[in-house]
Amino acid sequence: MAELQKDPMTRGDFLGFGILGTIVGALLTIPPAAFVLGPVIDVNVRGESDVPDDWYRVGPIGEIPAKEPKVYVVEFPVNQVYSEEQVIEEGVETPGATIDNAVWTSWREEIGENGEAIHRIPSFVESGVQPPLTQEQIDEVTANLNVLSSSCAHLGCPVRWIVKEDGGEFLCPCHGGIYDINGGYVGGPPPRGMYSFTFEVREDANIYVKHEFDIGGDKGPQQPYVI
Amino acid sequence: MGAISKARSQAADAGKFVADWLEHRAGIVTMMEHFLYEPVPKRGAWIYTLGSATLFLITLQFLTGILLLFYYVPSTDHAWNSIYYIMNEAYFGTLIRGIHYWSANFLLAVIGLHMAQVFFSGGYKAPRELNWVVGVVLLLLVVIIAFTGYALRWDQDGVWATVVGMKIGSYSPFVGAYTIQFLMGGDTIGPATVSRFFAIHVWLLPAALAPFIGIHLYLLRRHGVFGDEMEYRERLAKLQERQRLEEYEQYEDDGEPYVGRRDRADRD
Ligand code: FES
């Protein structure tokens, strides 16, 4: 057998070295570990997000057609490294970085008794929106609007709307996930339908979203991690 | 004696002088002999070059990677621009980046072949199983380096492939969320993501890769390559007999008592 230890060590020495080693080891490990794990600590322990918890404007509801979705691009500011708020405030002339998310908006589609598609576009929208909206109008819009993330529920590729003879569908370019106009799951590898943004409609007839998903759906809650 | 053969013998003398000089001071010749010659089974000898091919491609990665660093800027605003510069303005930029790109692709393919060769020839069996484990560590490191390199391009392809890769990681039980928050540098993709991927791709993992390559080679040389067992043992036995005799002769010349050479570890 290979003999590593030439001088025998007493139990006391062993414990002493063990304790000393643990202390020194911890002192040497904690700073670099905390340094690189900083963002994980910020997000999970301190509950901070890189995107400020605000409402961001998506676009006017009046531009969403009756039977097709419309895509808006929202630029969410990102607080990271050199685009961190503090850094920018200090007068360094770096424009803050943004993360651009495509938001698919559409009017809810339902299947009527005879199998025909009913598009739930509010009549006052169809005849031309006149801001400011009343509370009833806002409620009606909120109840019938889809505000979907373009990020595929499978692995996050951006889905796009494909026009077909009898309407269309959302198709994911990566592995062929398919969703209907409401973001419901139709086919392919995604485990659920498209994610909806947390949104609100305001008097100015615009949609506003937060940088978070409203988790629902029949497959149970699922945390989206990359948006 | 003609002028040419005279020059030739002079050059040979000079070469011998330099080699002797270096040998006495640094043991270079012995070291070269030790590092260069490794017996491989006669049959299918070419198949044993796959490991060297892998090493060659990794070396290319290091070299071209260092060159790319002269122009690449790891920031969300400038990553794409700096690669555009490399591809369109820098002299031979297309070539250098092309080599980095293609040798990365071939690297993964050649590693696959190398592993297949070791696997099908039973080269992972005792006493070489530790080297197989080291090889698997190397494979994982290379895969992660390839993944992180993809993001550095910061074009549509690179970003979405990275998002998909991270989403796959996010499904791992318990640590999924933490892993990708660590990679993204927060809870969304952004400037921190580029910096982190850069640090991992350029510093952390290559620095981890290098010593493991060293261990891999050391273990290879310690046990030799594995081939047709009978043929291999025969050849090895002959070679060692010859080396033993040579060494014996040398010790006799030196007038020192012969103490024998350390046996190769795989001879039981
Ligand atoms: S990412 Fe959309 S189907 Fe896989």
Q: Answer whether residue A79 is part of any domain.
A: yes
Residue type at B123 in one-letter notation: G
Residue-level pLDDT at A219: 46
CA–CA min distance A175, chain B (Å): 11
Give the bridge partners for A207, in sequence order: A59, A201
Do A113 and A208 sit in the same domain of this protein? Answer: yes
CA–CA min distance A217, chain B (Å): 18
Q: Which atom of ligand 1 has the smallest separation from the CA of A159?
A: 2
Residues of chain A contacting B180 with CB distance shorter than 8 Å: 225-226
Q: Answer whether residue A2 is part of any domain.
A: no
Q: Answer whether residue A129 is part of any domain.
A: yes
CA of B161 to the centre of ligand 1 (A): 11
Do A77 and A180 sit in the same domain of this protein? Answer: yes
- Would you say B179 and A225 are in contact if contact means Cβ atoms under 8 Å apart? no
Do A79 and A150 sit in the same domain of this protein? Answer: yes
Do A39 and A133 sit in the same domain of this protein? Answer: no
- Contact between chains at B189 and A226 (C-beta distance less than 8 A): yes
Looking at residue A113, which CATH number applies to its domain?
2.102.10.10
Q: Where are the alpha helices (DSSP H) in B27-92?
A: 28-36, 50-68, 79-88
Do A69 and A32 sit in the same domain of this protein? Answer: no
Do A212 and A171 sit in the same domain of this protein? Answer: yes
* Consecutive 10-residue averages of pLDDT for chain B (268 residues): 86 91 88 79 78 95 96 93 95 96 96 92 84 96 95 91 88 86 89 94 96 94 69 74 83 63 48
* Measured distance CA(A70)–CA(A105) in Å, rounded: 5
* Measured distance CA(A70)–CA(A52) in Å, rounded: 25
Q: Answer whether residue A210 is part of any domain.
A: yes
Do A164 and A205 sit in the same domain of this protein? Answer: yes
- Looking at the 3D structure of chain A, how many domains does it have? 2
Q: Which atom of ligand 1 has the smallest separation from the CA of B164?
A: 1
Do A152 and A218 sit in the same domain of this protein? Answer: yes
Q: Report the predicted TM-score, pTM, of the whole model to 2 decimal places.
A: 0.81
- Contact between chains at B181 and A40 (C-beta distance less than 8 A): yes
Do A64 and A44 sit in the same domain of this protein? Answer: no
Kindly report, residue by residue over A41-96, the tens digit of the pLDDT: 988 888 888 888 889 999 999 999 988 999 999 999 888 888 877 777 776 656 67
CA–CA min distance A191, chain B (Å): 12
* Measured distance CA(B34)–CA(A167) in Å, rounded: 73
Q: What mean pLDDT value characterizes chain A?
A: 86
Q: Which atom of ligand 1 has the smallest separation from the CA of A177?
A: 3
Residue span of the structural domain in which A20 resides: 7-48
Nearest CA in chain B to A226: B188
Q: Which CATH number applies to B45-226: 1.20.810.10, 3.40.50.620, 3.20.20.70, 3.30.390.30?
A: 1.20.810.10
List the single best residue of A42, A43, A49 to mutate versus B (max B Cβ within 10 A). Answer: A43
Residue type at B101 in one-letter notation: Y
Do A23 and A74 sit in the same domain of this protein? Answer: no
Do A136 and A75 sit in the same domain of this protein? Answer: yes
What's the order of all strands across the beta sheet hosting A185-187?
A160-164, A167-171, A178-179, A185-187
Do A74 and A152 sit in the same domain of this protein? Answer: yes
Residues whose beta carbon lies within 6 Å of some atom of ligand 1: A 152, 154-157, 172, 174-177, 188-190
List the single best residue of A48, A75, A78, A151 to mutate versus B (max B Cβ within 10 A). Answer: A78
